[in-house]
Structure 1
């Protein structure tokens, strides 16, 4: 009798364990099936989701799931240009903000140009603070980074834009996109009325000054004032201020070696670089003026000697500095003066 009871207990235990195992396996299989159903989207569903997101905002802000489903998921018949960035001020990325602005200009230029807009190209953004795991999976250690995810296959080395060489201007991004996708995007920048307003204000001030001084206009014949004004205009144009207005480059550039104030390519420049060149050109000119004044043979001889030494020193030092900047941008230029 005891043996029969023990057999029944053993059978009950085995039955319960079997039920638990089967239930667990069934739940696990259902969970995997649901996961596959969620992650496996058809091509039409991917295109429709991307189109809906793009209609709301030209740049689609990605999270991990969206990135895996819509950017890396297959099949695809569309390209995605993804900007990997770190926009949080705590990250201290000085170039990420300007790069994001330029990227937005390209995306808006594509989105609102009915002649080229299609569902064959989409723009997306991945922020490090929101999707750090994506950066790790792609082995990205800097920001910003622009990567083209083609319609077929994985990104190649050419699908990563070399911003150290081309910069982050909207026009440069558009040219790179055209090389990778054969889609020509004409960049349309939003109108900037600050220059027009400044011109109006200056015109009003000059007109008011001339009206108030209409009985005493001798200052218009002051050669020194006209010379200084002319030099200021020349320095503005030779230092590249017009480039800043047209291209809208970033103020500085963050590299692997730290913040760079001089663009390393002769095809680009930074805002701070134009002011450096402006000041160096002005210093060289002042040195030349001192040398000319010292050689005129008028005035105290000691004063003229001081002017000669200071002028020669300024010319040599600052000419060497501006030549060094040119050499760093024009790679292979063999000449230098005082400093390499």
Structure 2
């Protein structure tokens, strides 16, 4: 009886092994899609969504396997909140804007497709491409393998839809005009501010001495200067990331090149300049104080603010301008 059970168990194991082997053999030798079938499938998927979602199977089928006469702009990202990718959502929005602009543009054809791979849906793809960061934008050419220039340098040019369109044009010679969805928040904000200002002026029409307040206009002028010298206009034009990972795997808040900057970096520079200005104001106002003790405190505090925060600002400059020899207090 024991021998019979052993033989029965052995037979079941052999049958299961044969079934699994046969399934793997069929999958391995399954007929590959022809080029026309691939293109038609991609067009059908593109009619539903401008950005195609690829898992490992679709990536191997439409990207890795030949034949292929179309290019693919591939975004590799990690959108799940557990991945804590702070810029992936914003990069995905810009990528979708460009893909929508292409799908409804006169240059749309079956020679270029936009696709996205999420880390949680295709970890094997990240291993195949030897990537350990996100987001990454790659150009998969119609023929041959991807080169170094086929990976977009988002740390240098950012990842705005306009920067992506320029990258696509450089790699594929396809010109895409970016059409952003209308955003009325700026118009509403301007109208609201104008209405508030008009209301205040109307209510205070008999008492407009505040318009001659030097401190108010001085604060507005200083804030405007801080905004301009910190690089807010550069951020508006280039659309850089908030932060990015450093070479040692940590988070970098200061861009390592003088040709680029991060969003958080502009606020750091603005704060450092504000502290220097505050120190200069204290030094200036200390001379007009009649109380010597108060004047001495204001002088010491103002001098400390200027020295410390100017040294920090100089350190930021030295980290971006390689080879700058001078420092003060901090290296």
Q: Same fold (TM over 0.5)?
A: yes
Give per-residue Cα distances to partners, 1:105-147, cap 9 Å, x unaligned.
2222222221x22221111111111111222222222222222
Provide the rounded CA distance (Å) in 2 between the counterparts of 1:193 and 1:233: 24
Provide the rounded CA distance (Å) in 1 between the counterparts of 2:246 and 2:162: 21
SS in 1 for 2:285: helix
Alignment of 1:161-180 (within 5 A): 161-180=152-171
- Conserved 8 A contact 2:157-2:238: no
Match of 1:121 among 94, 108, 112: 112
Structure 2 residue aligned with 1:150: 141
Measured on the aligned residues, the alpha-carbon RMSD in Å equals 2.6
SS in 2 for 1:122: strand
SS in 2 for 1:126: strand
Q: Do residues 312 (structure 1) and 309 (structure 2) align?
A: no
TM-score scaled by structure 2? 0.85
Match of 1:95 among 83, 87, 94: 87
Distance 1:104 1:151, change over 3 A: same
Q: Do residues 132 (structure 1) and 133 (structure 2) align?
A: no
Give per-residue Cα distances to partners, 1:185-233, cap 9 Å, x unaligned.
3333333222222111111111111111111111111111111111112
TM-score scaled by structure 1? 0.83
Give per-residue Cα distances to partners, 1:43-101, cap 9 Å, x unaligned.
11111111221222111000122111111121111111111111110111112112212
Provide the rounded CA distance (Å) in 1 between the counterparts of 2:165 and 2:75: 13
Q: How many residue pairs get matched?
A: 314
SS in 2 for 1:291: helix
Structure with higher Rg: it is 1
Provide the rounded CA distance (Å) in 2 between the counterparts of 1:298 and 1:31: 88
Distance 1:149 1:304, change over 3 A: same
SS in 2 for 1:283: helix
Provide the rounded CA distance (Å) in 1 between the counterparts of 2:158 and 2:321: 16
Structure 1 residue aligned with 2:269: 277
| Unpaired runs of at least 5, structure 1 | 1-23
SS in 2 for 1:292: helix
Structure 2 residue aligned with 1:221: 212
Match of 2:103 among 111, 115, 118: 111
Provide the rounded CA distance (Å) in 2 between the counterparts of 1:45 and 1:177: 25
Q: Do residues 79 (structure 1) and 77 (structure 2) align?
A: no
Distance 1:191 1:249, change over 3 A: farther
Provide the rounded CA distance (Å) in 2 between the counterparts of 1:63 and 1:218: 66
